[in-house]
Chain A
Amino acid sequence: MSPKKKTKKHRSLFSRVTIIFILIAAGCFALYVAYLDKVILRKFDGKRWTLPAVVYARPLELYAGLSLSPNQLIKELKLAGYRNEKQKLTPGGYSQTAETVHLVTRDFYFPEGLQRSMNISVTFSGNKIKNISRTDSGENVSIARLDPARIGSFHPKQHHEDRIVLTYAELPEQLIKTLLAVEDQNFYSHRGLSPKSIARALWANIRAGKTVQGGSTLTQQLVKNFFLSNQRTLRRKFNEAIMTLLLEAHYSKQEILTAYANEIFLGQDGARAVHGFGLASQFYFKRDLKDLSASQTALLVGMIKGPSYFDPRRHPKRAQSRRQLVLSIMRDRSIIDDNTLQQALASSLKESTMTTSGFNRFPAFLDLVRRQLRNDYREEDLTNDGMRILTTLDPHVQWQVEEHLGESLKNLRQSTGNKDLEGAVIVSSRESAEILAVAGGSRPLQASFNRALDASRQVGSLIKPALYLSALENKYTLATAVDDRSITLTNQGEKNWKPQNFDRKEHGRVALYQALAQSYNLATVRVGLDVGVKKIIQTVNKLGIDRAFPPYPSFLLGASSMSPIEVSQMYQTMATGGFYIPQRAINCVFASDNTLLNRFGLSVEQRFTPESMYLLNTALQHVVSEGTGKTLSRFIPASFKIAGKTGTSNDLRDSWFAGFSHDKLAVVWLGRDKNKPSGLTGASGALVAWAKIMRSLSLKPLQLTEPPGILWSYVNPVTLEKSNRFHPQSIKLPFLQGTSPNPINSEPRPPYNQLKKPIKSFLEKLRSLFN
């Protein structure tokens, strides 16, 4: 074979191998492209973003007669993201004149449906609302419900992305034009990659000697943010190019632009990452995207280059110069006119720096919400599906709780020398059992150990009302004589138990109500043993703590541990007059499309007779008027007739106070996490914090509703015999019919069917007039 032929043969073999290699490479490439294509389609056609559940406070209802100061209203408005506007008000704006606050509410979906924006003027008289009217027509408004404040969101553990997803139609034209002018001028003409932009960026970077301009198109940026990591590798660049072309091939420019506007990272709010223009607009300016001014639009678009570097709150100078640059580009592209440019250039950055975020501001309450939701939803539902959760949180009550718990703890740490003294508070509405505020410790912003829910501590005398309620249901009256004398209990194989009073004294023969009011341990143990420990545990279960307790005699003095939230539920049943109403932190849950998923409405169950509850609650008023809670009158006038109970555990480890006014119930626990002595009794610690919190709220004096069949009698508190009003020490007590030693009113108030004949016939006549 001639060398020529040999070479030819080699060449032909080489070309064949090359072709085969190219074909294999092309095949692999095609497979890889197909894979990337699948990745894109899966993500873009599926659920593009996981949306955290958003949690709202209760909506504030405004009506004439409501106790609310203008400052309180404005504080609530600010928390709900309202802006103080000087000119014409737009939704989410307010302004204040002498005694009137003008505001425009925002559209909001409530369980009854969409509530449209309202333009109203609220006039005050001192610290009360005098009148509400429509700002435009002057027409009177009976009740106005504000759109509630967003107080938090539930994110997956691994990342804290948050966004408000907008459609293309919701993106303002000015924003789109500015975005394209600054980030991608050829967006509508390129097919994903723009050689022109790359060349221009390259030239600019060579001239500057450093990277000053990026050549990435919007589509490339979206691919980078959406599908790829931040690594600057050749492989990532390769993937980026392919995926960009694929994305452009599959989707319209509008879809790509909308995805970009929702995806872009625009700052950090604590642990929460702010994504998309919709949320950024709320976060920086407290307004909807469509309401942004030219300068605000410029600021947001300018921040894309470096959200942390150009953060207007941390680096106002940088942010401002970047904004001015974007504004000049806007003028160059004729997006704004000269006049607007001058105004925008002159506007300050203040409006973005003044605002503070209310997000995840109340972690202890959010913790409770999350736990209550776990009964009905999976964790993924809460973090991925964009649900909206309306809660019962009253921000004003929550602020007062945080402030006064913090202040009380500060003082008590100094006076006791216990620097690690901690506390927990739960406030709820008395009749409807809605939880208005929760404090899990002295640092309200820290989502750490939530003592309100998780601290399980001895309740001490806080258990006694359950014991005395059992007694009142078992033939005891408030005046029944009980023995407060030493008692020793022997249990086979165990050490003798010899309880003592707090003052280590015996008080002899005392009335049942006195034993409760003064929290006498010896009398309590004797009554408890007479009634039976198991019966008292059943009462505790009926009051709302549905779990087993070992039936030891020490249970009678509160040796069992409970959490503040359990105690709160127990006292709630007393406060409602014997009706068990589950305490609720959630009002309702909506899906992301605003369909109502779940409503947690009122449900009631009578578990105790109104008569025995009336007697018990009257005795709890005596605790405050003359017993261990007497010091409360230093803070709240006696005329408020508060019903409550102090609790102190062994060696002063726990200090408790639980009590209620006509409208609110609150439970306070103070102690040390290490369960060491706190140096505080219920009266010297928790009661003080309770009183400071409650007096800062608009309370109503407690009026117990007297059920039919109650008789009042005078009793001599020393001899415990019947007495009369002229005896200086005599005390008036309520009794069940037939148990009174000396009834004042010879007959109890008759039920309807026992009304005297003339009255009854008069009522019948009246009724016949309308039948």
Chain B
Amino acid sequence: MSSKQYEFKSPILPYLLVLPQMVIVFIFFFWPAAQAILQSFYLQDPFGGRMIFVGFQNYAKLFADPDYWQSFSVSAAFAVCITVSAMSIALFLAVQANKKIRMETFYKTMLIWPYAVSTLVSGVIWLFMFNPNVGVIAYVLKHRFGVDWQYLLHFDQAFILLTLAASWKQLAYNFVFFLAGLQSVPETLVEAAAIDGAGSATRFWKIIFPMLSPTTFYLLVMNLVYGFFETFPIVHAITQGAPGKSTGILVYKVWRDGVINLDLGGSAAQSVILMVLVIVLTVFQFRFLERRVTY
């Protein structure tokens, strides 16, 4: 066994070394997670005066609620749309920026820039452009192009706007990783293929794209997680779940029910479901998708 593993002389030292990290993980992850699981079985007064054990009733109520299923499917559709659009556009831009062009650095900088904008601010920027009451672009859409632009009432418009805002924010992140990935594709391989007569499309799909697969896989995971769990500020800024409750994605609903409506048990049950969802998603991705990735 010629492994590079280091043998600790003292049996306690390694545990001591990981202890600080474990303490943090315990306090900020396991403890709240355990609390959430516990609370999800209770109906409770916000001031903590009364706790009534209700078993799985909080869960049963969610699963019997067609609105919850609707929130589920909207969240999934939202995450998939963001992932597809943010990744494909970022890949296209990265390929273009990787070519030898004039003002290459300028383009790269501009494309990376949005990453520095916080998610909430990006939501507000899009709100100010597209809000039917105050938005500049909303005004142009309505008065120049005669579009009945009213995303406060039309679900399709609201969904497209949210997807655009969320993808725009994520684009920069994807761009950085794709660009780095492209730069590590050996020139020689591409040149050899060119000499063998492969056209630029063939070179991209047969050589470059497969070589990018670790990056693509990583981004796929990150984008889905982003789409599912980190788009809360965008929904909060732009639609707040409207029209009706059609854009009330899962993370938004958890916050709304818990923080605004003070339904702690129901909100806790939703977060437990989300927790299970993240675990399943991650396990699934690493088990099934990673096998097809060539490192």
Pair from one complex = no
